[in-house]
């Protein structure tokens, strides 16, 4: 039906009135916004219209020949390209003593102000057919929207601007700016060692470059006139100019602070030596790109997360999926050092230790190994960022923009690429991709004393997805305890006195070292807690299998030639018979061997004959006390109908039972 509707819209080249209506909401740009300029209007049109326009945009984009200097909303790495181009221009002016006059210009509400005539003219210049132009004309001239703010609504008919949120809007706005780029004065540009730059565009972010002040002022005047005729304007208060002039006598480049440039008669701010400005998310100074001041920002963000009324699992989710990704852009596209990245990693690990109350000597691999390998899955910036830098910079060699292909040969990018390549070597390993980083940290985790028992986590990664996604099945206190158990960070004597020649025998009087494995699997103090952990898992499986229409017998007794045998569960359905036994084993026991031993125990013909005259399948639910499953057990349980969420709950029941046993051991004073 959806395809039929879209085909009708395409055939008629017309939208019904009901689909042309939309709703506009206002998102505050800053907290406490109280003026129209501090809000960003977002127009939400019909889902059907957005889908239709997305199809149109995807079909139109390959057919439009945009000017190569426009890098926004295109299938290219335009953000990285423009950032590197601007950094290279400033660096070249300084090192080769070439004059550079640059203007970074900000348009006032560009997407909201562009006139409908400018949109239609841009479409015509871009080569749109008459039918498409007529469709756009009807769409923009007859559409309406409901303005919604603080519960109040008002119907309006917009006479200008593109709809922010509509898939066609970026393409149409690019066409408006593209007309100026294509007809600009090509004789005014900055040149150094074969690199020629006159303008850079990223949607409404425009940077103009020239070798003379007269040339830059000419380009500004041309742009202002072009924009005025299309309902657009430059905001001088948010724009900036830089004037670099070489001094032959002093053999250096001077920053001119008296060179004034004007927009419509208003003077634009001129950069001084203390000036910093932001372009596409990274910071610049007059003589080049600034190193990111992210450390302070990271500290502030971590403190906010720590102070928020959140559970530890929620803090980890925020850190992994929101806090760290917002730092990647600046780190990848700015000059960084190994020490800087390592300091950030140290700060991140310190925050995690605080949230989870972990001891200071937890293996580093526990933090950075993937969740499916047994770690916390928090990326290491030291092993992630250099590889990303190398790939982004190398990608410029194949850019469609000639100046990007040129900058890869110039000293700034060449040096940055060389340093990034050197940083991909860490502790003797070449970590050039995220895949190599994952392998590196998994190996580090599994080679450590604390992480060795987690090597089989990959047999059933879905069972521990709660580590990455958070879970409401655990309170914050329980989550901390469970994670300590998984990471071998519970305070047993062997853990707290590691590396010291002191008595570590079990305080229950056992003739064994008091390790977590001993406490949970062998110690006489925790015998009843072990039974309870086992029984909880058996009862859960019995209930779930009954829901799958299995006839379930719990711990039936059979007298066989080998003596009395009591499997945990005997299942029957439609002529099938299955013996299923649950076991929680230690971390030193190979899980496959434990599974096979359990299968061998119940592969008794006498037992099978008592259960059914047909063949009987023997399976086990084998898991170690740290939540790692045997692969054959995973296959068998899935065949019985146990799903991923059931594995999550079974794993948590196992870990909770182990944690309960540990606390019981620690609180008892009698032997």
Q: Give dist(CA 648, CA 650) in Å, integer.
A: 6
For residue range 521-551, list pLDDT tens digits in order. Answer: 999 999 999 999 999 999 999 999 999 999 9
What is the average pLDDT across 18-40?
A: 86
Contact present, 505 and 671 (Cβ < 8 Å): no
Reduced to 3 states (helix: H, G, I; strand: E, B; else coil), residue 236 is helix
**Phi, psi (degrees; rounded to nearest 5) at 324:** -65, -45
For residue range 443-456, list pLDDT tens digits in order. Answer: 999 999 999 999 99
- Give percent above pLDDT 90 in the chain: 83
Token digits of residue 480: 């901390």
Q: How far is CA 414 from the centre of its chain?
A: 28
Query: At CA 155, angle to CA 5 and CA 39, rounded to 5?
Result: 100
**Whole-Å CA distances, 213 to 89, 188, 582:** 16, 10, 81
Averaged confidence pLDDT in the chain: 93
Token digits of residue 32: 């406490």
What is the average pLDDT across 15-30?
A: 88
Element of type H or E holding 572:
strand 569-573
**Whole-Å CA distances, 44 to 26, 109, 647:** 11, 18, 41
For 66-85, give the secondary structure using H, E and C: CCCCECCCCCCCHHHHHHHH
> Residue 165's pLDDT band (boundaries 50, 70, 90)?
confident
What is the average pLDDT across 178-185?
A: 85
87-119 b/e (C-beta count within 10 Å ≥ 16 → b): bbbbbbbbbbbbbbbbbbbbbbbbbbbbbbebb
Beta bridge partners of 584: 623
Among residues 183, 67, 171, the alpha carbon closest in space to that of 119 is found at 171
For residue range 263-272, list pLDDT tens digits in order. Answer: 988 999 999 9
For residue range 550-565, list pLDDT tens digits in order. Answer: 999 999 999 998 899 9
For residue range 358-393, list pLDDT tens digits in order. Answer: 999 999 999 999 999 999 999 999 999 999 999 999
pTM (2 d.p.): 0.89
Q: Give dist(CA 582, CA 396) in Å, integer.
A: 56
> Residue 39's pLDDT band (boundaries 50, 70, 90)?
confident
Look up tokens 């600046």; give the residue. Answer: 330
Q: Give dist(CA 465, CA 330) in Å, integer.
A: 29
What is the average pLDDT across 103-111?
A: 92
Report the residue count for the chain.
671
Q: Give dist(CA 126, CA 133) in Å, integer.
A: 11
Q: Give dist(CA 190, CA 199) in Å, integer.
A: 9
For 156-178, give the secondary structure using H, E and C: ECCCECCCCCCCCHHHHHHHHHH
Among residues 593, 664, 588, 599, the alpha carbon closest in space to that of 626 is found at 588
Contact present, 199 and 84 (Cβ < 8 Å): no
Locate all alpha helices (DSSP H) within 96-168, ordered by sequence: 110-113, 116-125, 130-142
Between the CA atoms of 201, 207, 209 and 212, what dihedral angle is there, to the nearest 10 degrees? 140
Beta bridge partners of 570: 553, 579
Edge to edge, the sheet with strand 144-149 lists 39-45, 21-28, 144-149, 152-156
Contact present, 241 and 210 (Cβ < 8 Å): no
For residue range 611-647, list pLDDT tens digits in order. Answer: 998 999 999 999 999 999 999 999 999 999 999 999 9
Structural domains of the chain ordered from first start: 2-289 (no CATH), 294-452 (no CATH), 526-667 (3.40.1350)
What is the average pLDDT across 465-469?
A: 93
Contact present, 88 and 413 (Cβ < 8 Å): yes
Q: Give dist(CA 489, CA 480) in Å, integer.
A: 10
Q: Give dist(CA 340, CA 588) in Å, integer.
A: 39
Token digits of residue 234: 């430059």
């Amino acid at each position: 039906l959806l395809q039929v509707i879209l085909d009708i819209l395409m055939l008629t080249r017309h939208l019904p009135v009901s689909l042309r209506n939309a709703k506009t909401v206002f998102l505050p740009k800053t907290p406490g916004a109280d003026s129209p300029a501090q809000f960003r209007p977002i127009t939400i049109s019909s889902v059907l219209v957005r889908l239709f326009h997305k199809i149109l945009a995807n079909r139109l984009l390959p057919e439009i020949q945009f000017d190569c200097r426009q890098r926004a909303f295109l299938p290219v790495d335009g953000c990285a390209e423009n950032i590197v181009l601007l950094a290279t221009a400033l660096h070249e002016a300084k090192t080769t003593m070439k004059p550079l006059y640059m203007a970074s210009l900000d348009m006032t509400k560009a997407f909201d102000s562009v006139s409908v005539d400018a949109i239609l003219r841009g479409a015509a210049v871009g080569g749109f057919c008459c039918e498409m132009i007529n469709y756009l004309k009807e769409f923009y001239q007859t559409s309406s929207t409901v303005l919604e703010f603080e519960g109040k609504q008002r119907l309006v008919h917009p006479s200008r601007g593109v709809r922010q949120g509509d898939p066609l809007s970026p393409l149409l706005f690019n066409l408006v700016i593209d007309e100026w780029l294509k007809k600009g004065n090509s004789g005014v540009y900055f040149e150094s060692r074969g690199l020629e730059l006159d303008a850079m565009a990223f949607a409404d972010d425009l940077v103009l470059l020239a070798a003379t002040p007269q040339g830059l002022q000419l380009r500004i005047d041309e742009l202002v006139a072009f924009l005025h005729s299309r309902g657009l304007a430059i905001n001088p208060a948010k724009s900036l100019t830089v004037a670099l002039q070489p001094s032959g006598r002093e053999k250096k480049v001077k920053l001119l602070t008296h060179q004034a440039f004007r927009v419509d008669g208003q003077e634009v701010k001129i950069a001084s030596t203390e000036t910093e400005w932001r372009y596409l998310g990274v910071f610049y100074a007059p003589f080049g790109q600034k190193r990111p001041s992210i450390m302070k920002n990271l500290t502030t963000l971590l403190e906010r997360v720590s102070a928020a009324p959140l559970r530890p699992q929620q803090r980890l989710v925020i850190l992994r999926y929101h806090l760290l990704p917002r730092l990647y852009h600046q780190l990848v596209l700015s000059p960084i050092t190994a020490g800087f990245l390592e300091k950030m990693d140290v700060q991140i690990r310190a925050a995690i230790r605080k949230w989870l109350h972990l001891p200071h000597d937890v293996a580093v691999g526990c933090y950075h190994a993937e969740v499916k390998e047994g770690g916390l899955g928090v990326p290491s910036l030291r092993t992630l960022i250099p590889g990303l830098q190398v790939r982004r910079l190398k990608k410029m060699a194949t850019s469609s923009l000639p100046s990007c292909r040129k900058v890869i040969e110039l000293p700034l990018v060449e040096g940055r690429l060389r340093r990034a390549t050197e940083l991909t070597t860490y502790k003797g390993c070449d970590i050039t991709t995220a895949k190599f980083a994952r392998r590196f940290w998994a190996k580090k985790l599994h080679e450590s004393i604390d992480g060795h028992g987690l090597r089989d986590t990959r047999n059933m990664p879905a069972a521990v997805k709660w580590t990455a996604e958070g879970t409401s099945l655990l309170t914050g206190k329980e989550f901390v305890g469970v994670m300590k158990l998984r990471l071998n960070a519970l305070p047993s004597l062997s853990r707290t006195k590691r590396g010291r020649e002191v008595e570590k025998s079990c305080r229950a009087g056992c003739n064994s070292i008091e390790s977590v494995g001993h406490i949970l699997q062998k110690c006489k103090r925790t015998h009843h807690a072990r039974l309870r952990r086992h029984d909880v898992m058996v009862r859960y499986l019995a209930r779930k299998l009954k829901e799958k229409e299995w006839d379930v017998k719990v711990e039936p007794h059979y007298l066989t030639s080998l003596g009395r045998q009591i499997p945990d569960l005997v299942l029957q359905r439609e002529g099938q018979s299955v013996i299923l036994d649950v076991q929680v084993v230690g971390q030193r026991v190979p899980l496959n061997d434990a599974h096979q031993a359990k299968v061998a125990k119940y592969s008794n013909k006498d037992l099978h004959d008592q259960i059914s005259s047909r063949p009987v399948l023997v399976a086990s639910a084998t898991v170690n006390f740290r939540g790692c499953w045997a692969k054959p057990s995973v296959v068998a349980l899935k065949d019985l109908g146990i799903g991923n969420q059931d594995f999550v709950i079974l794993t948590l029941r196992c870990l909770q039972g182990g944690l309960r046993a540990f606390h019981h051991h620690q609180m008892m004073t009698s032997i």
